[in-house]
Amino acid sequence: MADDRARPAPPFPYMRYAKQRLGFDRPMNLGMSGIRPPADALLADLGVGPLSGAPLGAAAYRAALAARFEVDPAQVHPAVGTSHANFLIGFALARGGRVWAEEPGYGAFRAIADEVGATFHPLLRRPELGWALDPLVLKQAAREGADVVFVSDLHNPTGKRLTDDDFAGLAELAEATGAWIVVDEVYADFDPVPRPSAVHRNPRFLVTSSLTKVHGLGDLRAGWILGGEQIIEQLAEVDDVVCPALSGTLMAQAASYVAHGRERAAVIRDRAAWRLDQVDRWVEATPHMSWVRPDGGISGFVRVGEGQETDQGDRLAAQAEARHGVLLVPGSYFQRPAWVRISYDLDEEILGPALDGVAQAARELFG
Ligand SMILES: Cc1ncc(COP(=O)(O)O)c(C=O)c1O
């Protein structure tokens, strides 16, 4: 029988040493592998800067995140967006092992499993359960074994939050298998009923997130992992190979923003709320469309027509774009070609016509 236990990722001790010991502030330092940063004036002439002056300056960023999520700074690992955070966890903890991830779900979870040579197993979320995790599949995972489990909260593509039962099932799975449960909270600030980060629920839970989605700061690529101190230290050691440091300049900016993260999230959530109501009314009134109303945010997953295994969602997305210039994400990107993901953070005068375009495309295809 093949050995499918996860193999530990190799550490890179030199980078640990270099980050901790080598610095331009040390006297008689014959150890530096790069030159001193150019003067600010020179950089300005070249159209660069100002730089933070703290190339490894994660302390302020860590502290801001620790305050925001009520954890110790040692429980925070900075990352280049949620993508890096998720990949690092897969690479560090699931190489050659078993990854379970929610389905329908964000396709990167499966890609990460493939890239780290892990086997992939779908953890089904069911529309008839309001997109909750299927308890039977959670039990199957507990029997078969798991190294890393990926779920998102709010869920991409449905906008549903994980329930207390989901969390209890995930905690049982972690206990039965020793798996790490990754709760991707990149959409969590969209939740109209803010909850403490899932990192507080269980020592086997790791949380990944960033400012790229809810906060619209894709340009900063500022992300993070939250977890217990020991596992965060283990991940940091592996990250010495993948991404030894983030830009100090970006972390300084992100730290300033995160200090206002709560207030900003409240403003953004309110802005999203009326659109959700509008799209909910549209789904109700439009032939061939149905959904489980999202809990919050700017996206939902719409079922197109009836029938079990159809590609009606993909066909609707193609028709809406070709005939009406309206973009929807085909459900096949979330392993469900009968569905489409619809995102509605548009100005009011565009949202109505865009929804009309989708309704017309559906009429053209399905009568
Ligand atoms: C669930 C989920 N996680 C992570 C990402 C990527 O996040 P980031 O831009 O922070 O890398 C996405 C992007 O769509 C996503 O849907």
Q: Is the pLDDT of residue 146 over 50?
A: yes
Q: How many angstroms does the Cα of residue 285 sit away from the middle of ligand 1?
A: 31
Q: Does residue 193 contact residue 244 with C-beta atoms inside 8 Å?
A: no
291 and 242 belong to one structural domain: no
Prediction pTM value: 0.96
Q: Is residue 28 part of a domain?
A: no
Ligand 1, atom 15: closest residue by C-alpha: 106
Give me 44's structure tokens: 């300005």
Supply the residue whose CA is at minimum distance from atom 4 of ligand 1: 82
Residue after which a domain boundary falls, among 237, 259, 281:
259
First-residue to last-residue Cα distance in the chain: 53
Would the pLDDT of 2 be above 70? no
> CA-CA distance, 137 to 82, in Å (whole number)?
26
- For the chain, state the CA radius of gyration: 22
CA of 209 to the centre of ligand 1 (A): 8
- Judge if 311 and 240 occupy the same domain: no
Residues 115 and 203 in one domain: yes
Total domains in the chain come to 2
Do residue 191 and residue 140 come from a single domain?
yes
Kindly state whether residues 358 and 241 are assigned to the same domain: no
248 and 283: one domain? Answer: no
Q: How far is the CA of 299 from the centre of ligand 1 (A)?
A: 13
User: Under 8 Å CB-to-CB from 178, ≥6 apart: which residues?
Assistant: 147, 204
Of ligand 1's listed atoms, the one at least distance from the Cα of 221 is 10
What is the percent of the chain with per-residue pLDDT over 90, rounded to a whole number? 89
pLDDT tens-digit map of 22-66: 988 888 999 999 999 899 999 999 999 888 877 677 999 999 999
Report if residue 128 sits inside a domain.
Answer: yes
Query: How does residue 4 score in pLDDT terms, banded at 50, 70 and 90?
Result: confident
Domain boundary among 208, 237, 259: 259
Q: Is the peptide bond preceding residue 154 cis, with omega within 30 degrees of 0?
A: yes
For residue 183, report the distance from its CA to the centre of ligand 1, in Å: 12
User: Does residue 201 sit in the same domain as residue 321?
Assistant: no
- Give yes or no for residue 364 having a pLDDT over 90: yes
Distance 251 CA to ligand 1 centre (A): 19
Tell me the helices (H) and strands (E) count for the chain, helix number first. 12, 12
Point out which residues pair with 329 in neighbouring strands: 341
CA separation, residue 330 to residues 152, 304, 356 (Å):
19, 11, 18
Contacts of 201 (CB under 8 A, 6+ apart): 167, 171
Q: How far is the CA of 219 from the centre of ligand 1 (A)?
A: 13
- The one-letter code for the residue type at 63 is A
Whole-number Å distance, alpha carbon 175 to ligand 1 midpoint, is: 27
- Asked if 284 and 301 sit in the same domain, the reply is yes
In total, the chain counts a number of residues equal to 367
Q: Are 105 and 112 in contact (CB under 8 A)?
A: no
Mutate to test the pocket of ligand 1, among 106, 110, 207 (most ligand atoms within 8 A of CB): 106
- Which numbered atom of ligand 1 lies nearest the CA of 218? 9
Residue in 213, 219, 298, 333 to alter for ligand 1 test, most ligand atoms within 8 A of Cβ: 213
pLDDT tens sequence across 178-225: 999 999 999 999 999 999 999 999 999 999 999 999 999 999 999 999
Q: Looking at residue 1, what is its pLDDT?
A: 39
Atom from ligand 1 closest to the CA of residue 210: 10
233 CA from centroid of ligand 1 (Å): 23
190-199: per-residue pLDDT in tens?
A: 999 999 999 9
User: CA 22, CA 18: separation in Å to the nearest integer?
Assistant: 5
Residue 274: which pLDDT band, with cuts at 50, 70 and 90? confident
Q: Are residues 197 and 315 in the same domain?
A: no
Distance CA 315, CA 68 (A): 43
What is the spatial distance between Cα 139 and Cα 122, in angstroms, rounded to a whole number? 13
Ligand 1, residue 85: give the atom nearest the CA.
Answer: 11
SS3 content of the chain, % helix, strand, coil (to 5): 45, 15, 40
Q: How far is CA 143 from the centre of its chain?
A: 27
The whole domain housing 312 covers 264-366
83, 89, 154: which to mutate for ligand 1, most atoms within 8 A of CB? 83
**Distance from C-alpha of 225 to C-alpha of 84, rounded to nearest angstrom:** 10
> Of 210, 226, 259, which residue constitutes the final position of a domain?
259
Q: What is the CATH number of the domain that holds 129?
A: 3.40.640.10
pLDDT attached to residue 5 = 84
DSSP letter (8 states) at residue 31:
-
| Chain centre to alpha carbon of residue 267 | 21
Residues near ligand 1 (Cβ within 6 A): 81-83, 106, 152, 156, 184, 186, 210, 212, 223
